[in-house]
Amino acid sequence: MMTSNEIRIKFLEFFKAHGHTIVPSSSLIPDDPSVLLTTAGMQQFKPYYAELDPTTTVHPSIGQPIGRSAASVQKCFRTSDIDEVGDATHLTMFEMLGNFSFGGYFKKEAISYAHEFITKVVGLPISYVTIFKGSDVVPKDLESKAIWNSLGVNDVREEGMEDVFWGPTGSKGPCGPTTEIYCKTSEGKDVEVWNIVFNEFLCSSSREDLLAGKAQLDRLPSPGVDTGMGFERLVTIVQKTASIYDTDAFQTVFGDILKNDNKKSARIVADHLRSTVFLLADGVTPSNKDRGYILRRIMRRLVVHSQKLGLSKTDLLNRTETVIANYGGAYPEIVKNLSVVKDELQKEYDKFANTLKDGLNKFNKLFANAKNDPATFVDAMAKNAFDLYQSSGLPFDATFDLLDESGFAYDRAALQNRATGLMKEHQEISKAGSAGKFGGHGLILTGEVKASNEEEVKKVTRMHTATHLLHKALRQVLGEEVHQQGSDITPERLRFDFTYPQKMTAEQIAAVEKIVNDEVAKDDAVTMAEMSFKQAVAEGALAFFKNKYPETVKVYRVGDFSKEVCGGPHVTHTLEVGTVKIVKEEAVSAGVRRIRAIVEP
C-alpha cells in the first residue's frame, strides 16, 4: 500500500521531473487581504497570474524566482464544510496537491500530466471527466474534450458555471473553466479527485457577482493553469478505505479515538484537533473576530466533543505532539511551534471549561422552551445560540450539534444563517460602541481619524496626510533617528510625538515646514497598496512600531516622498492639504519631542 507520505513525495517528484519548481506550502494566514484563511493551493501564486512576473520576482520562501511552472502541497482551511465534518469525506483543514503554470504550458500538458499521474503513478482508473459546457460569455471547452479523447478518456461530461468554472477567490482575481477528474471510491461511488483550472480571465469582482452576471471578465494576457487535488480524498481512494479517517495518517494519529462508538464526535475531535494544531502553529490565536473566531469555534467544539468521549485536557495536549510527530516531516513549521500550540490550547481550554457546564445547563432549558413552538423555533433558537455564545462561550456549531443529537428535526442551515446574522449585527454595534469611547457625539470613525461631521472629516483627512509629510520631513532635517511615538488629530490641529534628544531650533522648524509645503505644492498623488506587513517593512515603509499590525496592511505613498503603513484616510493629491504650519514645539518626556501643526486655509 502506498502511504500518504509516499503519495505526497511522488506527486512532487513527478512534477519536478516535468520541470516544475517545488514551492513549500505557504502559511494558513494568507497574504491576500480578501480572504481570512488560505483556502487553495493557488492562493500564494495568485499575483503571478496577473500582476507579478514569475520569472523575475523573487519568491519569498525559495529565495529565487519560481519561473513559469510550480508545484506544491498546500495546507488549506475551509469553513464551508464544517457542518459535514463527521461524515466519511469532509474536513476543515486539508492538504491540496497542485501544479501551476503562469503563462507557460496550457491545456494539453496540464491534462496529460494529470492523466499520467492518476493512471500510472498512483494507478487509478478514471471513471469520467467533466468539461465546461459554455455560457453567454465563455465558449464551450472543446479543446479539453479533444485532449481527453486523444488520451483514451471518452466519458467526457459537460457542466456549467456552478461546477466547472473556478474562482475568483476573494473580491477579485484570476478564474476560468475547469476540467475535473472523477474516480471510484472503495464503495463504488464516483468522486471528484482533481480540479484542473484554466485561468484565462481576470474577474473584476467576487464569484458571487460573477454568478449573478454582475462581474466583468477580462482575458489574462498570459493564461495559466491552476490545479488542485484534495490530498486526503486521493489517499482514501488509493488506499481503498471507507473514509478519510481510515487512511494511514488519521489511523496513526487518532486510531484509538476513532474506534469510539460515537463516530461523529470522534471524527470531529480528530479533524478539529488537527486543524487547531496547524492554525495555532501558523500564528492564528483564538478570539472573537475574523480568523481568530474561526479558530475559537473549532477549538471549543473540540472541547465539547472530546469531553463526550471522556478525553481530558491532558489527553488533547499530549495528542498535539502525536499530530506534530506525524506531520512535522512535511510541515516543519509545526514542529518549531509545539510550545505555542500547547500553551494556546491550554489557555483556551481553561477559559472555556469554566463556563461550559453552565452553558450546557442553559442549553437544556432554552431548547426545552424553544421546541414547544415549531413555528418560531429557528428564530428563538438563533437568539438562544447567540446568547449562549455571549454568556457561556458556547460556539454555534456546538449548540447545533447538541440539537442534532437530540433528534429534533430542524433546518440547520437556516439556523446557522440566522445566528450568524445576529452575530454580525452585534459586531457592527460593538464597533460603533468602541468608536464612541474616544469621546464626542455622533462620532465618525474613518480609518485612523475621528470627526463629527463631513466637514471635520475633510479637515482631519488633510491633517492626516500632513502628518505623513511632517514625519518624513523631520527625518530629513533631524536625521533617521526620528521615530514616531504618537499622533493625535482633531479638527483643530495635529499633534505628533517623536524621538529626538533636544529642542528643535527655529531654523530646523522652518526647514521642515519648507520641505512639507514644497511637497504640497508639487501636488503629489497619494496612493494606497495592500501588502503583507513583512513586505511593507522590506520596502522601507515607515511603521509606528508601538502598534500591533495585522498580517496585511495598507501602505500609503505620497508621490516619491513618503511611504507609511497606515489605516488612512488620506487626501488624493497633496494640494488638498493646504499650507502646513508648525505652531508649537515642546518636550513630552526625556528624548521625546512634540509638535503641533495646523493646515490652512
Q: Shortest approach of ligand SER to residue 74 CB, angstroms? A: 9
- Report the amino acid identity of residue 385: A
Nearer to ligand SER, 197 or 244 (CB): 197
37 is a contact residue toward ligand SER (CB under 6 A): no
230 phi and psi, to 5 degrees? -65, 115
Min. distance of Cβ 51 from ligand SER in angstroms?
17
Is 515 a binder of ligand SER (CB under 6 A)? no
Strand positions, DSSP E, 133-283: 156-159, 165-166, 173-184, 190-203, 217-230
CA atoms within 13 A of residue 24's CA, in its CB half-sphere: 14
CA distance 461 to 455: 10
Beta carbon of residue 267, minimum distance to ligand SER (angstroms, whole number): 23
- All three cell numbers of 476: 530629513
Query: First-to-last CA distance in the chain?
Result: 78
Of 532, 539, 600, 568, the C-alpha closest to 283 is 532
Q: Which of 197, 466, 526, 565 binds ligand SER (CB under 6 A)?
A: 197
195 scored as a contact of ligand SER (CB under 6 A): yes
Residue span binding ligand SER (CB under 6 A) among the ranges 3-11, 39-47, 298-306, 331-339: 39-47
Q: Considering the rule CB under 6 A, would residue 226 count as an interface residue with ligand SER?
A: yes
Among 40, 238, 270, 477, interactor with ligand SER by CB under 6 A: 40
As measured in angstroms, the least distance from the Cβ of 76 to ligand SER is 8
The CA distance from 493 to 587, in Å, is: 18
C-alpha cell at 194: 482533481
Q: Does 41 bind ligand SER (CB under 6 A)?
A: yes
Shortest distance, CB of residue 49 to ligand SER, whole angstroms?
11
Alpha-carbon 521 to chain mean position:
41
With CB under 6 A as the contact rule, which of the stretches 34-42, 274-282, 292-300, 459-467 interacts with ligand SER?
34-42
Of 517, 494, 493, 489, nearest in space to 580 by CA: 517
Q: Which of 94, 367 has the CB closer to ligand SER?
A: 94
- The residue among 7 and 76 lying less far from ligand SER, judged by its C-beta, is 76
CB nearer to ligand SER: pick between 76 and 370 = 76
Cα Rg of the chain (Å, integer): 28
Closer by beta carbon to ligand SER, 52 or else 435:
52
Backbone angles phi, psi at 198, to 5 degrees: -105, 100
Alpha-carbon gap, residue 487 to 509, rounded angstroms:
18
Q: Which one of the spans 38-46, 135-143, 261-269, 362-370 is the region binding ligand SER (CB under 6 A)?
A: 38-46
Least spacing, CB of residue 195 vs ligand SER, in Å: 4
Residues 6+ apart with CB under 8 A from 141: 131, 132, 134, 177, 179, 198
- Span interacting with ligand SER, options 223-231, 416-424, 442-450, 479-487, rule CB under 6 A: 223-231
Residue 98 or 359 with smaller CB distance to ligand SER: 98
Residue 117: DSSP 8-state = I
Q: Which residue in 103, 173, 228, 286 binds ligand SER (CB under 6 A)?
A: 228
What distances in angstroms separate CA 229 from CA 74, 83, 307, 411, one per listed residue?
A: 10, 21, 34, 31
Euclidean distance between CA atoms 465 and 568, whole angstroms: 9
Surface-to-core class of residue 328, CB atoms within 10 Å of its CB (0-12 exposed, 13-18 middle, 19+ buried): middle
Which residue stretch of 40-48, 267-275, 331-339, 345-353 sits at the interface with ligand SER (rule: CB under 6 A)? Answer: 40-48
Nearer to ligand SER, 275 or 517 (CB): 275
CA 558 from centroid of its chain's CA atoms: 29
Size of the site for ligand SER (CB under 6 A): 10
How far is it, in rounded angstroms, from Cα 359 to Cα 283?
A: 28
| Nearer of residues 226 and 271 to ligand SER, judged by Cβ | 226
484 binds ligand SER (CB under 6 A): no
Q: Please, what is the minimum distance in Å from the beta carbon of residue 526 to ligand SER?
A: 35
Edge to edge, the sheet with strand 552-558 lists 526-532, 552-558, 562-565
Identify which of 163, 161, 168 has the alpha carbon closest to the alpha carbon of residue 136.
Answer: 161
Here the cell at position 560 is 516619491
Which of 320, 326, 315 has its CA nearest to residue 338?
Answer: 320
Residue 379, SS3 per DSSP? helix
Task: Tell me whether residue 198 or residue 396 sits nearer to ligand SER (CB atom).
Answer: 198
Segment near ligand SER (CB under 6 A); pick from 35-43, 181-189, 410-418, 582-590: 35-43
Residue 38's nearest CA partner among 133, 138, 174, 169 is: 169
Minimum gap (Å) between residue 213 Cβ and ligand SER: 22
Q: Minimum distance between the CB of residue 275 and ligand SER, rounded to whole angstroms?
A: 18
> At closest approach, how far in Å is the CB of 46 from ligand SER?
10
286 binds ligand SER (CB under 6 A): no
CB of 118 to ligand SER, least distance (A): 15
Residues 127-166 that bind ligand SER (CB under 6 A): 166
And the C-alpha cell for 391? Answer: 454568556
| Shortest Å distance, C-beta 4 to ligand SER | 19
Which residue in 7, 36, 37, 42 binds ligand SER (CB under 6 A)?
A: 42
Map the footprint of ligand SER across residues 60-119, applying CB under 6 A.
Answer: 98
Shortest spacing between CB 451 and ligand SER, in angstroms? 43
Q: Which residues lie across from 451 on neighbouring strands?
A: 444
Cα distance between residue 204 and residue 78, in whole Å: 23
| Least distance between ligand SER and beta carbon 96 (Å) | 6
Q: Which three cell numbers stand for residue 134?
A: 459554455
Nearer to ligand SER, 198 or 377 (CB): 198
Q: Is 176 in the site for ligand SER (CB under 6 A)?
A: no
227 binds ligand SER (CB under 6 A): yes
Closest CA to 99 of 17, 189, 28, 31: 17
Q: Given the rule CB under 6 A, which residues bind ligand SER?
A: 40-42, 98, 166, 195, 197, 226-228
